[in-house]
Amino acid sequence: MKLNHLIEKIPLKIQTPTVNFNVDVNGGYISDLLSDVMAHAKKGDIWITLQIHQNTVAVATLKELAGIIVIGGKQPAQETIKKAEEEGVPILTSDLTAFELICELCKLGISGSR
Amino acid sequence: MLKIYTADLHIHSCLSPCGDLDMSPRKIVATAMARGLDIIAITDHNASENIVAAMKAAASTPVTVLPGMEVASAEEVHLLALFDGLEPMAQFQKIVYENLGSFGIDPRTSAEQVIVNENDEVEGFNERLLFGASSLSFEQLVAEVHRLNGLAIASHIDRESFSIIGQLGFIPDDVPLDALEISYHTSLEQARALYPDARRFPLIRNSDAHYPDEIGRQITRFVLGQPTLEEIKLALKHYQGRKILDVE
């Protein structure tokens, strides 16, 4: 499943317009503890989080994640978006809660078990 | 004249929702004195209402009380903010309250957040939910602390919850922290091995006491001219003979 495809199916707002969204999503991971994401997320995961700090971009790059979805209507910090565009990390935002968004992702076949 | 001062700069009073009711200003000062501490800081969660009482309770003792707070950032990272006097402390408190949200405590479920005077008499209760987090980012809080000439120290970086490394994975490059605190859970050697970031900053140790018995369980010994925040600032930079002697 491509990240592009998710954007067509679920109401998600693109925060990093210059970044390539034609990337594979292999699975998903949800956590607001960046140390936990560093320890447990897998390459190609779409990461769902409430955190908007610029460190999220470094973690996504390090773990080669497919992208970040910031939930709950939160707006990423400006430095975060700037860094994401520099690093080529796709960031999306959603007004959904984590639970609602994950239900939608599951319907599209995105799974947490890899 | 330079002298060794033993400090515990992270102590919660009964104002913190997780602080024991026995953590009254007199009890804290008496315990600090009995354990040979020269400098303590009262650092309640997002609040500072018991600091004046602690300073008054310590006035006739050899213990110096520094104003402080353990403030929670938007990322839920705990930051130890220490100030040189009550005026900057009050200004910082105002900023924190303006950004803390207005959740009140629920008396059925919340712990009491007790405000006491220097005689340990209850003066009132803080009705805000002090467990909350500020809407200011970690970087914004550090900037506010520095604007008020305070010290910004990342709390218990070795803990999984509410620490900068737990919440944010690593210490951002551009945060001008004055020091990092290592909790009693981890030795300094372990901390240096586990967290490469820890090598970039001075390390200190404090008790993070929530109960009287815990006061002074971890300490930092400084070489200072006076027991003041300004001197501790110099010590963190190893200026003019001021220094961290050791951390225990």
pLDDT in tens, B149-200: 999 999 999 998 899 999 999 999 889 999 999 999 999 889 989 998 888 9
How far apart are alpha carbons B7 and B186 in whole angstroms?
A: 18
Helix (H, G, I), strand (E, B) or coil at A49: strand
Interface of A with B in 73-102 (CB under 8 A): 77
CB contact under 8 A, A51 and B137: no
Q: Average pLDDT of B34-59?
A: 97
- Count of CB pairs separated by less than 8 Å, A with B: 35
Interface mutation vs chain B, best among A29, A31, A32, A34, most B CBs within 10 Å: A34
With cut-offs at 50, 70 and 90, classify the pLDDT of residue B40: very high
- Yes or no: say if B54 and B42 are a contact pair by the CB < 8 Å rule: yes
pLDDT (tens digit, 9 = 90+) per residue, B14-37?
Answer: 999 888 889 999 999 999 999 999
Q: Average pLDDT of A25-45?
A: 94
pTM (two decimals): 0.90
pLDDT of B93: 97
Contacts for B107 with CB less than 8 Å, ≥ 6 apart? none
How far apart are alpha carbons A53 and B175 in whole angstroms?
A: 13
Instruction: Give me the numbers of helices (H) and strands (E) for chain A, helices first please.
Output: 5, 5
Strands (E), A2-83: 13-14, 27-30, 45-49, 67-70
Q: Average pLDDT of B137-158?
A: 97
pLDDT (tens digit, 9 = 90+) per residue, B53-90?
Answer: 999 999 999 999 999 999 999 999 999 999 999 999 99
Which chain B residues touch A if contact means CB-CB below 8 Å?
74-76, 137-138, 160, 165-170, 172
For chain B, say whether A32 makes contact (Cβ under 8 Å). yes
Q: Average pLDDT of A79-90?
A: 96
ipTM over 0.85: no
Q: Average pLDDT of B107-131?
A: 83
Report the percent of chain B where pLDDT is more than 70: 96
Tokens 């800081």 sit on residue: B41
With cut-offs at 50, 70 and 90, classify the pLDDT of residue A111: confident
Nearest chain A alpha carbon to B162 = A33
Helix (H, G, I), strand (E, B) or coil at B71: strand
Contacts for A51 with CB less than 8 Å, ≥ 6 apart? A32, A34, A70, B75, B167, B168
Chain B residues in contact with A77 (beta carbon < 8 A): 137
Long-range contacts of A34-40 (CB under 8 A, 24+ apart): A34/A59, A34/B167, A34/B168, A34/B169, A34/B170, A35/B160, A35/B165, A35/B166, A35/B167, A35/B168, A35/B169, A37/A63, A37/B169, A38/A62, A38/A63, A38/B169
pLDDT of B161: 85
Q: Average pLDDT of A28-51?
A: 94
How far apart are alpha carbons A35 and B35 in whole angstroms?
A: 36
Contacts for B239 with CB less than 8 Å, ≥ 6 apart? none
pLDDT of B199: 85
pLDDT of B133: 85
How far apart are alpha carbons B217 and B84 in whole angstroms?
A: 24
With cut-offs at 50, 70 and 90, classify the pLDDT of residue B92: very high
Tokens 């220097």 sit on residue: B118
pLDDT of B198: 84
With cut-offs at 50, 70 and 90, classify the pLDDT of residue A108: very high
Tokens 């209850």 sit on residue: B122
pLDDT of B53: 97
Query: What single-letter amino acid sits at B240?
Result: Q
Report the percent of chain A where pLDDT is more than 90: 94
Query: What single-letter amino acid sits at B150?
Result: G
With cut-offs at 50, 70 and 90, classify the pLDDT of residue B241: very high
CB contact under 8 A, B137 and A53: yes
How far apart are alpha carbons B137 and B74 in whole angstroms?
A: 5
With cut-offs at 50, 70 and 90, classify the pLDDT of residue A104: very high
Contacts for B90 with CB less than 8 Å, ≥ 6 apart? B48
pLDDT of B246: 80
CB contact under 8 A, B168 and A32: no
Bigger pLDDT: A96 or B104?
A96
- Asked if pLDDT for residue B104 goes beyond 90, the answer is no
- Asked if pLDDT for residue A110 goes beyond 80, the answer is yes
Contacts for B146 with CB less than 8 Å, ≥ 6 apart? B152, B176
